[in-house]
Amino acid sequence: MTPAAIELDRVGRSFAGASGQAYTAVRDVTLSIGNGSFLSIVGPSGCGKSTLLNVVAGLIPASEGSVTIYGEPLRGINRRAAYMFQQDALLPWKTVLGNIMLGLTLRGIRRGEAEERARSWVSRVGLEGFAEAFPYQLSGGMRKRVAMAQCWIVEPDLLLMDEPFSALDIHTRQLMESELLRLWSDSRQTVVFVTHDLDEAIALSDEVVVLSAGPASRIVSRYTVGLTRPRDLIDLRTHTEFTGIYNRIWADLKKEVLKSHERSSIQV
């Protein structure tokens, strides 16, 4: 029996506060994510979504509980995962081709093979003619295409994405969402996607997890998105099935957003 891609068992994460008191970002999070699934995490601002993703990535350790990746306890950096941040991490002195092949180079792949594979990915993400361009010469959407190629070229088992399209305009964003689903459909890696945008979470995902208002955020609910695939993201949001799912999830999410606003108002 194939183990789950990710198992979180009563995971919590606390940080030292400025006053010396500990701040608990997330607490008692138990979550199982199946291999090859696309799961999104939503919740109010500051509820610990990125913290949870960083724990799965191994960038920070859990303060309590355990993290298991494909049946193996996670210790240190998660070597089976690639991470796509909100702000791309392209090296400004490297070309598109150089940035895409960087991960292969760091893994010891000989230059000729790394370049050949990188050129294939230049085409796969629609950047023909831009292989020798530098990041400053690219639009925001093009930079995101490079970042996606960087992640996929190393063939990770897990792809962790922290609001990767939030800075894009709505039209470019929908194009990048469609591109992401196309790549995922071809490979079926496990994706954990953090977003503030409930529309985006539903359009992309198999499941949506709602976190409570912080501090000490926990899982409030978990919803299966029963929309058929492949999905036409341009028209999907107009479908009655989409609206029904949105309304059900928003009923939970709205409560947490209001709680977060009330707590922020009290602190101010």
- Look up residue 140 and give its two tokens: 């925001």
Burial of 169 (0-12, 13-18, 19+ CB in 10 A): exposed
What tokens appear for 141 in the block?
């959407």
Nearby residues of 129 by Cβ (< 8 Å), 6 or more positions away: none
pLDDT digits (tens, 9 = 90+) for 180-236: 999 999 888 999 999 999 999 999 999 999 999 989 999 999 999 999 999 989 889
Report, as an integer, the average pLDDT of 242-247.
96
Q: Quote the crossing angle between the two packed helices 140-153 and 170-187, to the nearest 10°.
A: 20
The domain locations on the chain are: 1-80+158-268, 81-155
CATH 3.30.750.200 at 1-80+158-268, yes or no: no
Residues 78 and 80: their CA atoms lie apart, in Å, by: 5
Per DSSP, 237 falls in state G
Assess contact for 36 and 18: CB atoms under 8 A: no
d(CA 225, CA 207): 5
> pTM for this one?
0.93
Of the listed ranges 17-26, 77-86, 105-114, 165-174, the least confidently predicted one is 17-26
Closest CA to 40 of 238, 215, 246, 255: 246
What's the rounded mean pLDDT across residues 158-165? 95
What is the per-residue DSSP string for 91-145?
-TTS-HHHHHHHHHHHTT--HHHHHHHHHHHHHHTT-TT-TT--GGGS-HHHHHH
